[in-house]
Structure 1
């Protein structure tokens, strides 16, 4: 015993920091792929298929961004936060505020939309469920392969 008492703490923190960095990098990559998938759907499909795929992908994107922001949270937390955000944005459209902002800003139109559509609420659930499943499977594959430390946050 050396008497420094804290020598073990940095070694325990380092793997967690590396794991969080890895989660952020993967989530950022997933966000980019999700945007590309959304653009692809819009380019090659139209009508309800494009609209509802876009709704689901919107929530997948929000889930990926939640993972970037809170990499130590569990996939169910990311998906739940993404679903809550998506529903809140959709319900905000009932006020007319997003429609007004969308007339003046392309970013507001992309983030907030403009018109409430009840079926969108279902497709947000589909997107959150998909994102949760992919995150959970990817997380369990990573921890079982020894690529990240097993912590309560990675399960």
Structure 2
């Protein structure tokens, strides 16, 4: 029997909170690339949880594709300068949109998404 949508949504909220806490925790105790790239991977994980929160019955591969595409869209939008301008005015915008493009982040988003796709797939097949 598949998980009820309400249970899945609660799990996604809790997971997103854990991923956000991990990202902020890593940033608080490290400098440089570890904090930056773990933040990108964990951002991908958070976006995945949001996708599943919005549509609990979604396929893991579709959810992973949407999450990765969204992260890439946000990253490439940084080439326009609009996120940087918004980030100057708002800490929330800075956290959500970033400030400058980094091609390495593009590779790190799937690092946070792929394990969740695998776990989601495993749990779906097991509950069927």
Corresponding residue for 2:86?
Answer: 101
CA distance in 1: counterparts of 2:80 and 2:95, whole angstroms = 17
Q: Deviations over 1:87-131 (max 9, x none)?
A: 000000000000000000111100000100111100012112122
Equivalent pairs counted in the alignment come to: 128
Corresponding residue for 1:131?
Answer: 116
**Which one of the candidate residues 83, 100, 123 is aligned to 2:68?**
83
TM-superposed deviation, 1:60: 0.2
Q: CA RMSD in A?
A: 1.6
TM-superposed deviation, 1:54: 0.3
Corresponding residue for 1:49?
Answer: 34
Alignment pair present for 1:69 and 2:64: no
Large movers: runs of 4+ above 3 Å? 138-141
CA distance in 1: counterparts of 2:121 and 2:99, whole angstroms = 32
In the superposition, the TM-score normalised over structure 2's length comes to: 0.92
CA distance in 1: counterparts of 2:101 and 2:20, whole angstroms = 22
| Cα pair distance change 1:108/1:72, threshold 3 Å | same
Structure 2 residue runs without a partner (length 5+): none
CA distance in 1: counterparts of 2:70 and 2:21, whole angstroms = 21
In the superposition, the TM-score normalised over structure 1's length comes to: 0.77
CA distance in 1: counterparts of 2:31 and 2:121, whole angstroms = 31
Structure with the greater alpha carbon radius of gyration: 1
TM-superposed deviation, 1:40: 1.4
| Cα pair distance change 1:126/1:67, threshold 3 Å | same
